[in-house]
Chains A and B, each alone.
Chain A
Amino acid sequence: MSAGGGGINGTSVGGLLARRLLQLPLIVLAVYTVTFLLAWSIPGNPLENPEGRRPPPEIAEAMQKQYKLDDPVAFYFDYLGKASGVSWALGKHPVPFDLGPSLKQPDWSVNEILGTGLPVSISLGLAAMLIALSIGLVAGTIGGLRPGTTPDYLTQLLAIVGISLPSFVIGSAILMFFAVKLRAPAIGWGGETVFESLVRASFPAFTLSLPFAAYISRLVRFGMIEEMSSDYIRTARAKGLPRWKVALKHALRNAFLPVLSYLGPATAVALTGSFVVEKVFAVPGVGQHFVDGVLGKDITLVMGVVLVYSTLMVVLNLAVDVLYRFVDPRLG
């Protein structure tokens, strides 16, 4: 699942798409199998309240049977068939892509949980990436154009802070100040007006964006320093083009390439790694459901999230590779 452009030279975009889409089921199957083994080996019983009373053994046994938890092999194939849509295609199951009921929250199917949580997590992740890009590009360009000056030191300092401070610390501080002191809408998700929704989303998105913004700014700064001292820039400057035009039109374009290959995996991390931010800001995304699922051995929920996310990751990486070809004409 490489995100870079390496190794894809010489094939057409169509060939790339075809090959990657053929790989997709194999990759997802491998992820499914590994996750299944890990999830099954989590100790405990998902149908039991860990801090509470225990039902009589005959009831516990009936519960296990109800969800096929007494037979891992049967569970593995049954779930795989229903989730992949194969059972549906064979006419054995009424609906395709059925990820099963959550074992801990029997009133909810994993499809419903993902259906409500995924749009939220994706919005949050993408919003964070947009903010990270904006901050990172501006800060990196400022620093890269004038390395060693005060603005450069300041942006680098901010980058170090952004990378090293954990998001629950920043998030809590933001909540203390904006939610409690200023009474701004910062906890939860959604709002009465478009403005309120955006304000509410901006706090978790900003918190989530910081480490990415910091990393992007360092990538851009380094790229700018290198590009600005290269021959083609000197030529352009010699032709009499103004410095800002050279920087933004030529240097930034090339300095942006490493950022683009970073964006694929970074977006993946932002989408899957948002659970801390989701918890702190009470954002109803998939991340925290997934963590709760792992802690509670909610196997169907864990498997469902992993299946959907791994598919999403493969597609996302593919999208970045395709985008790369448009930006960098040297490739295909």
Chain B
Amino acid sequence: MRILLPFLLLVAALVATIALDRPLPPADLVVIERSDCYTLDPQRMSYQHELRRARVIYETLVNLRASDCAIVPGVAERWESSDDGRTWTFHLRDDARWSNGDPVTSRDFSYAWRRALLPDTAADYSALFFEIKGGRAFFEKRKALLKAFAEKAKAGGVNSADVEQLQRDTMLAFEEGVGIKTPDDRTLVVHLETPLAYFLDICAFPPFAPVHRDTVERFVSIDPKTGGYIQRHGWTKPGEIVTNGAYTPTVWRYKRDMRLERNPHYWNPDAVMADSIECRTIENPNTGVLAFESGGADWLTDLGPEYKTEMLAERRAYLERFRADVDAGLARGADLDDVVGALPPPGEGERRDARGFDAFGTDFFSFNCRKTLPGEKSNPFHDARVRRAFALAVDKQQLIDRVTRLNERVASTLVPPGSIDGYPLVEGLGFDPARAREELKAAGYEDRDGDGVVENERGARFPTVDILYSTASPRYQNLALAMRDMWKRELRVAAECRGKDSKLYKEDLKKGNFMIARGGWYGDYGDPTTWLDLQRSDNGNNDRGYSNPKLDAMLEAARLETDAAKRLAMLAECERWLFNEEVPLLPICNYVTVYMYDPSRLDGMSDHPRLEQDLSILGRRASAPTTEGAGARSPSESAQ
């Protein structure tokens, strides 16, 4: 029995450890996410789910209204811009408060924006702050100061006075050189490098949120060896974190859950629905669906790919049964969720708790536009005629019907239609195999000896097309294979698909080691430039190596244009030219995001094409929705 004793002790300890692990108390809104936030530091964020949470934890100068993506007052109650569009003055409301009761001041913004501009912070979105006058120069100045300090330190000659001098020089460079001014606590003046038509939209972007200076500073120290700031991130933890948004995090357990509770000092409590929100992290997509199905969760933000097609088909079956009621409801101007939520419950083989939305993202394949491929091999895709031929030979509708099967919207250009106010619909190239062959012939390639493969005039065959995709999802492989067959059939070229793990794929993409490669992009802010800038010669995400002074000049001209309508027309012309003549990439479709939520229980989901959901306006319905007298909202459901 002696041996049983340690086992019994072990069992007791085990039971105690397991039992002591308490779940969170029930929240008013439970959201299941596929990944946890990597950081709650707004200046360092870059993932969509983080930005979504940041929007309710921090409040920016202005807010983006989820339902229509209009700019509405946030911490600033009003603002004005100078005639040349380069100077913006924001007047902050006096009742804006941090969660510890401190007032939110213009200095909090200035401090946060300075952090974003410091190379020490290494913020993903620093480049957006370079639009502020002197921003890039300050970044470079700080880098030079740090370098000089490090050299002096290496020679062994730094002391605390040098460290202080470095900080003073940095502050001076910021105060004198950067166009962020705080004449008083309630006023923030921003000077821009160029008239930035979408500056307000950027101001609503979470990396532009303020942070509570005293809290953050407690976690900053100076490295005596390099003079740089060491920023520890403990301040983002519940108990330390101070926020100025609708909510504040009270519990955060790594890759497990986060609980948000109302910020007691938020100036606009009436606009906030739920008192508490639980964000659960379930990484396995299959388990996420099972957790939603077993009840207790209100919203699953990312349905796993294995389920999408089937669940959307079940929803279509359900809507089909009530087609007349749905049409009548939408005709009255009611919101689709209100209409669907008021219908009788779904039967066998039907469902209404999965819904697909066209996302603010476009799926595409990049052409390698560089003159040569690695190893100095000549690159046929340097020729725009070849790119046009390959684009014209792809039947995208067939790809959507047979391969991706999510009923996505076919895309021929980058900017998703309807996503940006005042920006017209721009059409690119469609499916036209006859014209595709002509384009290829014009580029010098046709089947001269009748062997079923095209050659140039010297008899050399068109090189085998190297199609690169990442194996992160079977979707890309299936698309690559289907397009390979289309190109073989329509253009008579040989093509091979090359699947790589996402990191190796990214390396090849950077090195330009491909002819055609899978790509995709989600827009950051509500302006066509978040898409079109991708093609600029100097853009860090220009994987295609596309470089055309004409495009750079067109975009630069639009940048300097102060008339908003004229500017959008210039950009639309630029996009039209890009996707009818140049075709640096082949757009396939707009992404579809599938949410799971029951419209008879949850209210407040937006179907605006930018798909910015606002957690603070989501809430459980007190009773089943009625569609009578509902306000007019966009009655579109393209992806069902």
- Which residues of A are in contact with B by a Cβ distance under 8 Å? 42-44, 47-59, 62-63, 66, 101, 104-108, 112-113, 116-117, 119-120, 122-123, 126-127, 130, 172, 175-176, 179-180, 183, 186-192, 194, 197-198, 201, 279-282, 284, 288-289, 292, 297, 323, 326-327
CB<8 Å pairs between A and B, sample of 30? A43-B507, A47-B122, A50-B503, A52-B522, A53-B46, A53-B540, A54-B540, A56-B126, A59-B124, A62-B143, A105-B36, A105-B38, A107-B233, A107-B234, A107-B237, A116-B254, A119-B21, A122-B17, A123-B17, A127-B14, A130-B10, A180-B293, A187-B294, A188-B23, A191-B23, A192-B23, A198-B18, A279-B287, A282-B287, A282-B291
The answer to whether residues A112 and B123 also contact, given A175-B287, A187-B287, A201-B18 and a CB cut-off of 8 A, is no
Chain B contacts of A190 at CB under 8 A? 18, 21-23
Interface stretch (choices B54-62, B173-181, B278-286): B278-286
Report yes or no: B124 in contact with A198, Cβ–Cβ below 8 A: no
Report yes or no: A123 in contact with B18, Cβ–Cβ below 8 A: yes
Q: How far is the CA of A106 from the CA of B44 in the complex (A)?
A: 9
Interface bits B105-130 vs A (CB < 8 Å: 1, else 0): 00000000000000110111111000
Task: Determine if B15 is an interface residue (Cβ-Cβ < 8 Å).
Answer: yes
Top 5 closest A-B pairs, CB basis? A44-B503, A190-B21, A284-B256, A194-B19, A63-B122
Q: How far is the CA of A167 from the CA of B546 in the complex (A)?
A: 48
Q: For B506, give the chain A residue with the smallest CB separation.
A: A50
CB distance from A178 to the nearest CB of B (A): 9
CB distance from B99 to the nearest CB of A (A): 18
Q: How far is the CA of A62 from the CA of B3 in the complex (A)?
A: 57
Report yes or no: A56 in contact with B540, Cβ–Cβ below 8 A: yes
Chain B contacts of A101 at CB under 8 A? 232-233
CB distance from B212 to the nearest CB of A (A): 15
Chain A contacts of B472 at CB under 8 A? 50-51
Report yes or no: A107 in contact with B236, Cβ–Cβ below 8 A: yes
Task: Determine if B411 is an interface residue (Cβ-Cβ < 8 Å).
Answer: no
Interface size on B, residues (CB 8 A): 68
Interface positions of B from 125 to 145, Cβ below 8 Å from A? 125-127, 139, 143
Chain A contacts of B286 at CB under 8 A? 172, 280
Report yes or no: A179 in contact with B294, Cβ–Cβ below 8 A: yes
Task: Determine if B450 is an interface residue (Cβ-Cβ < 8 Å).
Answer: no
Q: How far is the CA of A201 from the CA of B504 in the complex (A)?
A: 38
Chain B contacts of A281 at CB under 8 A? 287
Task: Determine if B2 is an interface residue (Cβ-Cβ < 8 Å).
Answer: yes
Q: How far is the CA of A252 from the CA of B138 in the complex (A)?
A: 77
Q: How far is the CA of A43 from the CA of B501 in the complex (A)?
A: 10
Q: How far is the CA of A108 from the CA of B258 in the complex (A)?
A: 14
Contact of B282 among A51, A127, A176, A282 (CB under 8 A): A282
Interface centre among A42, A101, A105, A191 (most CB of B within 10 A): A105
Contact of B283 among A54, A194, A282 (CB under 8 A): A282
Interface positions of B from 1 to 60, Cβ below 8 Å from A? 2-3, 6-7, 10-11, 14-15, 17-19, 21-23, 36-41, 44, 46-47
Contact of B119 among A62, A113, A172, A288 (CB under 8 A): A62
The answer to whether residues A66 and B233 also contact, given A126-B14, A130-B10, A180-B294 and a CB cut-off of 8 A, is no
Interface centre among A106, A194, A198 (most CB of B within 10 A): A106
Chain A contacts of B506 at CB under 8 A? 44, 48, 50
Q: How far is the CA of A326 from the CA of B127 in the complex (A)?
A: 66
Q: How far is the CA of A52 from the CA of B139 in the complex (A)?
A: 24
Q: How far is the CA of A323 from the CA of B3 in the complex (A)?
A: 9
Interface positions of B from 226 to 276, Cβ below 8 Å from A? 228, 232-234, 236-237, 253-256
Chain B contacts of A51 at CB under 8 A? 472, 502, 520
The answer to whether residues A326 and B3 also contact, given A175-B287, A279-B287 and a CB cut-off of 8 A, is yes
Q: How far is the CA of A59 from the CA of B130 in the complex (A)?
A: 12
Task: Determine if B295 is an interface residue (Cβ-Cβ < 8 Å).
Answer: yes
Contact of B40 among A50, A57, A107 (CB under 8 A): A107
Task: Determine if B541 is an interface residue (Cβ-Cβ < 8 Å).
Answer: yes
- Which residues of B are in contact with A by a Cβ distance under 8 Å? 2-3, 6-7, 10-11, 14-15, 17-19, 21-23, 36-41, 44, 46-47, 119-120, 122-127, 139, 143, 228, 232-234, 236-237, 253-256, 280-284, 286-287, 290-291, 293-295, 472, 501-504, 506-507, 520-522, 524, 540-541
Report yes or no: B295 in contact with A49, Cβ–Cβ below 8 A: no
Q: How far is the CA of A123 from the CA of B12 in the complex (A)?
A: 11
Contact of A279 among B256, B284, B507 (CB under 8 A): B284
Report yes or no: A197 in contact with B122, Cβ–Cβ below 8 A: no
Contact of A130 among B11, B17, B291, B540 (CB under 8 A): B11
Report yes or no: B290 in contact with A187, Cβ–Cβ below 8 A: yes
Q: How far is the CA of A107 from the CA of B255 in the complex (A)?
A: 12
Report yes or no: B19 in contact with A187, Cβ–Cβ below 8 A: no
The answer to whether residues A55 and B293 also contact, given A62-B120, A107-B38 and a CB cut-off of 8 A, is no
Report yes or no: A59 in contact with B287, Cβ–Cβ below 8 A: no
Q: How far is the CA of A186 from the CA of B143 in the complex (A)?
A: 52
Interface centre among A43, A48, A198 (most CB of B within 10 A): A43
Contact of B294 among A47, A104, A183 (CB under 8 A): A183
Report yes or no: B254 in contact with A108, Cβ–Cβ below 8 A: yes
Interface centre among B7, B253, B284, B504 (most CB of A within 10 A): B284
Contact of A55 among B6, B10, B126, B507 (CB under 8 A): B126
Report yes or no: B540 in contact with A57, Cβ–Cβ below 8 A: yes
CB distance from B510 to the nearest CB of A (A): 8
CB distance from A174 to the nearest CB of B (A): 10
Report yes or no: B17 in contact with A58, Cβ–Cβ below 8 A: no
Report yes or no: B287 in contact with A197, Cβ–Cβ below 8 A: no
Q: How far is the CA of A55 from the CA of B139 in the complex (A)?
A: 14
Q: How far is the CA of A175 from the CA of B292 in the complex (A)?
A: 12
Chain B contacts of A326 at CB under 8 A? 2-3
Q: How far is the CA of A297 from the CA of B503 in the complex (A)?
A: 10
Chain A contacts of B11 at CB under 8 A? 130
Report yes or no: B39 in contact with A105, Cβ–Cβ below 8 A: yes
Report yes or no: A59 in contact with B122, Cβ–Cβ below 8 A: yes
CB distance from A143 to the nearest CB of B (A): 23
Report yes or no: A59 in contact with B23, Cβ–Cβ below 8 A: no
Chain B contacts of A122 at CB under 8 A? 17
Chain A contacts of B287 at CB under 8 A? 175, 187, 279-282
Report yes or no: B541 in contact with A54, Cβ–Cβ below 8 A: yes
